[in-house]
């Protein structure tokens, strides 16, 4: 079974530039998550999608970050404009729906995109 795919793996940009990350979840996984992991910290949830609807985006800095999952499969996360403090690894994860509750806590992570803002 193919895992969660992300691209690019690495990106270096200057502050105030824009950047976009792409994620393809495991086939059949309805829930998709974007996390930000700063060096030395645990992953922090930015946004959670259920199919193509947003479940939780309370920690997404909406003045500069946006995300979409138009067809309920692939997703993109965009930062515009980037700041130095956005340097981090951006992880995408997906989970399959549970037959009983409709959601699952077992999340599968992609390899991440390592972003450096200079």
Partner 1 sequence: RKEVEQDPGPFNVPEGATVAFNCTYSNSASQSFFWYRQDCRKEPKLLMSVYSSGNEDGRFTAQLNRASQYISLLIRDSKLSDSATYLCVVSGGSQGNLIFGKGTKLSVKP
Contacting residues toward partner 1, per CB under 8 A: 31, 40-45, 48, 50, 55-56, 91, 95, 101-107, 109-112
Q: Which is nearer to partner 1, 19 or 93 (CB)?
A: 93
Q: How far is the CB of 80 from partner 1 (least distance, A)?
A: 25
Shortest separation between residue 96's beta carbon and partner 1, angstroms:
10
Q: In angstroms, what is the minimal distance from the CB of 17 to partner 1? A: 24
DSSP-derived secondary structure for 40-91? TS--EEEEEEETTEEEE-TTS-TTTEEEE-TTSS-EEEEESS--GGG-EEEE
CB atoms near residue 65 (< 10 Å): 19
**28 — alpha (psi -120 to 50), left (phi > 0) or beta?**
left
**Closer Cβ to partner 1, 86 or 95, answer by number:** 95
Name the residue nearer to partner 1 (CB basis): 78 or 108. Answer: 108
Rounded least distance, CB 85 to partner 1, Å: 17
Q: Which is nearer to partner 1, 71 or 101 (CB)?
A: 101
49 phi/psi in degrees, rounded to 5:
-110, 140
CB 23 within 8 A of CB 32: yes
């Amino acid at each position: 079974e193919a895992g969660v795919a992300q691209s690019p793996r690495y990106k270096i940009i200057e502050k105030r530039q824009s950047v976009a990350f792409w994620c393809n979840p495991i086939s059949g996984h309805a829930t998709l998550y974007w996390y930000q992991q700063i060096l030395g910290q645990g992953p922090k949830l930015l946004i959670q999608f259920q199919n193509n609807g947003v479940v939780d985006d309370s920690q997404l800095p909406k003045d500069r970050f946006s995300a979409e999952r138009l067809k309920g499969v692939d997703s993109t996360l965009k930062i515009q404009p980037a700041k130095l403090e956005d340097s981090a690894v951006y992880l995408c994860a997906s989970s399959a729906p549970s037959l009983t509750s409709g959601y699952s806590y077992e999340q599968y992570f992609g390899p991440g995109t390592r972003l450096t803002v200079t």
